[in-house]
Amino acid sequence: MTVVEDRETLLDTEVEALEERVATPKTVLMCRPEHFTVSYRINPWMEPANPTDTGVALRQWQSLYDTYQRLGFHVELIEPIVGLPDMVYAANGGFVLDGIAYGARFHYAERGPEGPAYSEWFAARGLRVVEPVSVNEGEGDFLKVGETIFAGTGFRSDAGSHVELARIYDREVVTLRLVDPSFYHLDTAFAVLDDKGGPASVAYLPRAFDDASRAILEHRFPDAVLATDRDAAVLGLNSFSDGRNVVIASKAETFARDLESKGYVPHGVDLSELLLGGGGVKCCTLELRW
């Protein structure tokens, strides 16, 4: 094959990739940050001495909500509770699949009451709620790609929760161990771009994982987007996708370009105030797979 033919083939492949990205309607659960502040420190992003602005957090959260509405998502809301400033990070409230909600059991006492609050919401919507035995922080550490659930451990969710997941949902569960405390939940270092799966269906930060976990990711996702340290530092990977549109941190500029090169359409949102609590787009978003 000539150089010209090679180039034409590459262009054809790129065009095909653009055409193949298909958006799938999403239903998500969110919580308005009406009581958001940083009054304790349970991750490296949090510093109670630094002031936070609840009004700014609300406006930025609203921009995320509005983006989801514009993309055609159905957004459910859970009522925020006084004294639970991290309740805005709805992803940690549980894991929902096949009409079953696996409840959260938080690592830190400060967030403990969030678990029952979310489980009550799930039950009121007709979901079958399974109360956890092991410590887990919901979709913060559990992400579905194809028929496999990738499950994080190392800082928050216990490996025992992965066993519970496999039993409850009868799915393959693959454990990934996180080693950098700044990326303490799986969804801070691993993003699902297309939940139908495929070699380019995820993005991740290699150095956030141990050697064995990196080997798993390299094998299963050879065409994954590899995040830069700069984008990871603004929780760029803490994103949410419908298979075509990927909502990301607005400052994750290299990540946005990399997504475009794979045929995805990035949508930047500024959640810098909520980043002070250690959360971003995905942290504020729990997918409801009724």
Active site residues: 185, 283
| CA-to-CA separations, 216 to 2, 26, 174, in angstroms, rounded | 36, 28, 9
Those residues with Cβ within 8 angstroms of residue 3's Cβ, 6 or more apart along the chain or in another chain: none
Give dist(CA 188, CA 108) in Å, integer: 18
Query: Tokens 């609300």 map to which residue?
Result: 58
| CA-to-CA separations, 193 to 77, 86, 103, in angstroms, rounded | 24, 25, 24
Give dist(CA 112, CA 118) in Å, integer: 11
Phi/psi region, residue 170 (left: phi>0; alpha: psi -120 to 50; beta: rest), is: left
> What H or E segment, with its residue span, contains residue 190?
strand 190-192
> For residues 54 and 37, is the Cβ–Cβ distance under 8 A?
yes
Query: Tokens 């298979």 map to which residue?
Result: 243
DSSP 269: E
Query: Tokens 């180039």 map to which residue?
Result: 7
Q: Where are the alpha helices (DSSP H) in the chain?
A: 3-20, 54-70, 114-124, 160-169, 211-220, 229-232, 253-261, 272-275
